[in-house]
Every structure is written in C-alpha cells, then in structure tokens.
Amino acid sequence: MEIIFGFIFFGGYFYFVIRKEEHRIKYCVLGILYSIYLVGILHFTLLHRVILDTRHIKFFSLNTGASIYDMSETFYNILLFIPMGFLTPLCFKNIKLKRILFQCLCISFGIEIIQLIFQIGFFDINDLVNNVLGGIIGYLLFRLIEKELKKYGKIFWDRWSQRKSQ
C-alpha cells in the first residue's frame, strides 16, 4: 500500500515540477526523498494503527509532560514534521513560513480527521500543535543553512554537469 502511495506522490511531483531540463536530476532526487518522507508519514500515522472501539477527541492540554509517554509522544510528533519544513523549500521555489504553517496544519488536520473517522487513533489537538511546531523548526533550520546548501549544491551540480558532458 505504501508503495502505491509513493508512486502517486512521486508521479505527481514529477509531472508538475520536473518539466525543465535544467537540474532535472536534482529535483528527481529531491522528489524521491519527499515522496519517501510522505509515505513514511502515512505509514506511521495511519496505515499501521489499531482500530479503536470508540472515537475520541483530545483537547489541547499544557500538561503534556506529565509522563514519559506524553513527553516522547510530543517529541515524536515534533520530529515527524521537521523534514517537511526542511524539504518543502528544497523541492519547491519561493516557499515562505506561512506556506509551511498552512501545509503542516492541513496535513496534520487531515491525518487527525482520518484517525477519528476510521477509529485508528485519537483526534488530538496537541498533535496538530506539535506537528506545526516541527514544520516551523524544519523551515527555520533550512533558512539557517540555506546559503551553505546553495553553495555546496551548486558545486556538486556543476561537477555533475561537467562529468555528464565529457
């Protein structure tokens, strides 16, 4: 099932983004990474969950650090969306923080709604907040090292192009 989702994501990415000849390999590699990441989100949040007897909605609580389980769940929810905040500006041009916020919120909300409808987890407001926070952290990390990425990326792709033309 995950493989099918991966092909759908990558096919869509390939069709809409990778149209120009310039840097096609770069965007192809980034598209594959992004697709694997999105399939991983589906895998961890939806596809391998136990069906519950009832539907639950957990409202926001500032007392999330009460137990080791709550702390680890918070950490994993933040960690899960850091790659989205980092990879999205690499794969698509002119991505701003507002777009990352909206994207993380929509994807996280969609996951929570699916979990609620199909009874494969709780609809948890804390998850929404933590996922968006993870996306923001990933975006800020990207902005922090963006110049270095461009510098080393340009060197790599220039060398790749020279080797390819020989």
Residue 74, amino acid? T
Strand, helix or coil at 90?
helix
pLDDT score, position 147 = 82
pLDDT score, position 33 = 85
Decide which of 24 and 43 is more confident. Answer: 43
Decide which of 53 and 108 is more confident. Answer: 108
Per-domain boundaries in the chain: 1-48, 55-160
Q: Residue 49 phi/psi, 5° resolution?
A: -115, 155
CA proximity to 81, closest of 60, 49, 104, 61 = 104
What is the reported pTM?
Answer: 0.74
pLDDT score, position 123 = 83
Q: At 61, list the tokens.
A: 């609580």
pLDDT, tens digit, 9 for 90 and up, residues 119-161: 887 788 889 999 999 999 999 999 999 888 777 766 655 655 5
Average pLDDT for the chain: 78
- 111 vs 117: CA distance, rounded Å: 10
